[in-house]
Amino acid sequence: MYADTIAAIATGMTNSGIGIVRVSGSDAVAITDKVFRTKEKRSLCEMETHTIHYGHIFDGEEKIDEVVVLLMRAPRSYTREDTVEIDCHGGVYVVKRVLDTLIKYGARPAEPGEYTKRAFLNGRIDLSQAESVIDLISSQNEYARKSSLLQLSGQLSNEIRNMRAEILHEIAFIESALDDPEHISLDGYGDKLAKIVDNNIDHVERLWKSSENGRMFKEGISTVIVGKPNVGKSSILNTLLGQERAIVTDIAGTTRDVLEEQINLNGILLNIVDTAGIRETSDVVEKIGVDRAKDSLRNADLVIYVVDGSLPLDQNDYEIMELIEEQQVIILLNKSDLKAVTTKKELKKHLDKKTISVSALDKTGISDLEQAIGEMFFAGDVAYNDELFITNSRHKYALQETLAALRLVRKSIEDGMEEDFYSIDLMHAYEELGKIIGEEIGEDLVNEIFSKFCMGK
Ligand code: GDP
C-alpha cells in the first residue's frame, strides 16, 4: 500500500454531462471529507462502504459544485485502496476546480495509469490483466472488445500460471533427483519430460499463433486492392469508404500513389491500400507506384483482386495472378452491369479463389464481399467468440522466447544430454512466461507499461 493519496479526472477533457474525479489511497476518505458537505452535515468517515452521497464540494467557504460521491473502502475497490469517486458537472473547468481543491487539501495528482498500476501492485490483477485494460479502452470493434475482456477476466493469466506450475514441478524434480540420486531415479525420465514439454510447446505455439488474429482484431486486416488500370479499383474503394477519396478517371495509370484508408465493415477493420495498377510500365513515376504495390502485396493479410468482367483476361492479368497465387485472395469480377466477357468459370481456370460479381457503378455485390471477408478471417476454424487472442507484442515476444527455450529442452532430451541441461532451459521458459503476468520484470518496465495509459485510469 502507498502512503500518498492520488486524485485525477477519470473522464474525458471535453464538456459533457458528468465528469468524474477519482481519489484513491489511505487518506482518500479523510481528504474528500474536508471538501465535501452534505445537508445533514455527516462526515464521510462515518459512512459505510459502497454507499452514495449527495452534497457539495467546498473550497473553504466557497461552493465549487453540486456532486454525488461514491464511497468504496479497501479492499473492495479498483485499486484495493480506499477510493472515492466524485460525480461533478462535466464542464472541463468545473471538474478541474474540484480536482484542484482535492489537491489543495492533501491529494497528489495521479500519473497516467496509476490507478491500474496500484491495482496491479496491490495484487488485485496481474500485469497481463492490467494491459488488457488499455486494450479494452482502445478497442474499436466487437472482436477486440471480447478478447480484451477475456484477458481481463484472467484467462490468459490462468493458462500461463498452469504452464508455469507444471514446468516448475519438473525443475524441482530434476534438482532433487540430482541432489539425492540414491533415492530418486532419473531412469526413463527423459521420455516423460519430452511428453510434458511437447504439450507445453503445443500450447505456447497456439497462443503465439493467435497473435496473428489478435493483431488483425486490434489493428485491422491489412488489405491490398490489385488489378489492372481502369478495372474499377478506385471506384470499389470509394464505394467501401462511402466517400470520394481516390481519384477516379478513365485514363489508364492515373492512381499513382498508394492510398491507405481504414474502414470498418460490420466490426471488422480493414486497412485498405489502393495501389497503382500493377502492370509493366515504362513511365518512371508510375514504375515507383508499381514497385510499392508489389511491396504492400507481400505484407498483406488479404488481397482483393479486381477484374473488369466486360473485357477478356490478358497477359497482365496472368502476371498478377501469378503474384498473388499464394495469398488469401478475394476476386471481384467488376462491372457486372455491363455485358459479361470474362466469367467466373473462365477465371477459375487460372486462379482458384473466392470470386464475387460486383458493380461499383450500381453498388451491387458489396455486401457479399463483406460477408466473404468475415468468413475468411473470423469464422470457420476461428471460434472468435470465446477464444483468447494475444494482442500485445510484449506477450508475443515472451511466448516466442518460451518456445525457443522449450525446444532447447526437447533437443537436449533427444541428444541424451545431462539432466541439468534440461533444468536450465526449463527455468528460462518459466521466467519468460512469468514476464507475461508481470512476475519476472523490473520496475522500469512496469513504469513504462503504465505510462502508456490514459490519465485517470
Ligand atoms: P482503377 O483504375 O482500377 O482505379 O479504375 P477506376 O475506379 O478509376 O475506374 C475506371 C473506369 O471504370 C471509370 O470510368 C469508372 O467510372 C468505370 N467503372 C468502375 N466500376 C464500374 C462498374 O462497376 N461498371 C461500369 N460500367 N463502369 C465502372
Output the pLDDT for position 380: 42
Tens digits of residue pLDDT in 400-452: 999 999 999 999 999 999 888 999 999 999 999 999 999 988 888 888 888 88
Q: What are phi and psi of 287, to 5 degrees?
A: -60, -40
79 ligand 1 Cβ < 6 A: no
The answer, yes or no, to whether residue 244 has pLDDT greater than 50, is no
Residues contacting 55, CB < 8 A, separation 6+: 36, 37, 38, 39, 66, 67, 69
Judged by DSSP in three states, 196 sits in helix
Output the pLDDT for position 293: 66
Tens digits of residue pLDDT in 322-376: 989 989 999 999 999 999 999 999 999 999 999 999 999 998 988 888 888 878 8
Tell me the C-alpha distance between 239 and 369, whole Å.
12
Tens digits of residue pLDDT in 5-49: 999 999 988 899 999 999 999 999 999 999 999 999 999 999 999
Ligand 1 nearest-atom number relative to CA 306? 3
Output the pLDDT for position 107: 97
249 ligand 1 Cβ < 6 A: yes
Judged by DSSP in three states, 256 sits in coil
Neighbouring-strand partners of residue 7? 23, 109
Residues contacting 393, CB < 8 A, separation 6+: none
Residue 134: pLDDT band with limits 50, 70, 90? confident
Tens digits of residue pLDDT in 1-11: 567 999 999 99
**How far is ligand 1, taken at its centre, from the CA of residue 359, in Å?**
9
Tens digits of residue pLDDT in 110-128: 999 999 999 999 999 999 9
Distances (CA, A) of 87 to 52, 63, 335, 379: 10, 15, 57, 42
Q: With CA atoms as reference, report the closest residue to 231 among 150, 335, 128.
A: 335
**Residue of 228, 233, 248, 364 with the most ligand 1 atoms within 8 Å of its CB, for mutation:** 248
For the chain, give the percent of residues with pLDDT over 70. 89
**How far is ligand 1, taken at its centre, from the CA of residue 296, in Å?**
22
Ligand 1 nearest-atom number relative to CA 249? 8
Residues contacting 281, CB < 8 A, separation 6+: 253, 287, 290
The answer, yes or no, to whether residue 271 has pLDDT greater than 90, is no
The answer, yes or no, to whether residue 133 has pLDDT greater than 80, is yes
Q: What is the arithmetic mean of pLDDT over 384-390?
A: 67
**Euclidean distance between the first and the last CA atom of the chain, given in angstroms as a whole number:** 18
Q: With CA atoms as reference, report the closest residue to 433 among 176, 168, 194, 216.
A: 168
Output the pLDDT for position 420: 87
Pairing of β 6-9 and β 18-24: antiparallel
Output the pLDDT for position 286: 56
Tell me the C-alpha distance between 155 and 36, whole Å.
40
Distances (CA, A) of 284 to 51, 247, 281, 289, 316: 71, 20, 8, 9, 18
Output the pLDDT for position 183: 87
Residue 383: pLDDT band with limits 50, 70, 90? very low
- If phi over 0 gives left and psi between -120 and 50 gives alpha, with beta otherwise, what is residue 141? beta
Residue 378: pLDDT band with limits 50, 70, 90? low
Distances (CA, A) of 124 to 213, 390, 447: 28, 21, 17
> How many CB atoms lie under 10 A from the CB of residue 304?
27
The answer, yes or no, to whether residue 379 has pLDDT greater than 60, is no
Residue 384: pLDDT band with limits 50, 70, 90? very low
Q: Are 269 and 262 in contact (CB under 8 A)?
A: yes
Q: What is the arithmetic mean of pLDDT over 147-158?
A: 91
Ligand 1 nearest-atom number relative to CA 248? 8
Structural element, H or E, at residue 222: strand 221-226
Q: With CA atoms as reference, report the closest residue to 307 among 252, 246, 355.
A: 355
Q: What is the arithmetic mean of pLDDT over 145-169?
A: 93
Distances (CA, A) of 375 to 141, 216, 231, 266, 381: 16, 14, 25, 12, 10
Structural element, H or E, at residue 10: none
What sign does the dihedral 50-54-55-56 (CA atoms) show?
positive
Output the pLDDT for position 259: 54
Residue 292: pLDDT band with limits 50, 70, 90? low
Ligand 1 nearest-atom number relative to CA 338? 26
Output the pLDDT for position 386: 61
Side-chain half-sphere of 433: how many Cα atoms within 13 Å? 30
**Residue of 230, 237, 311 with the most ligand 1 atoms within 8 Å of its CB, for mutation:** 230
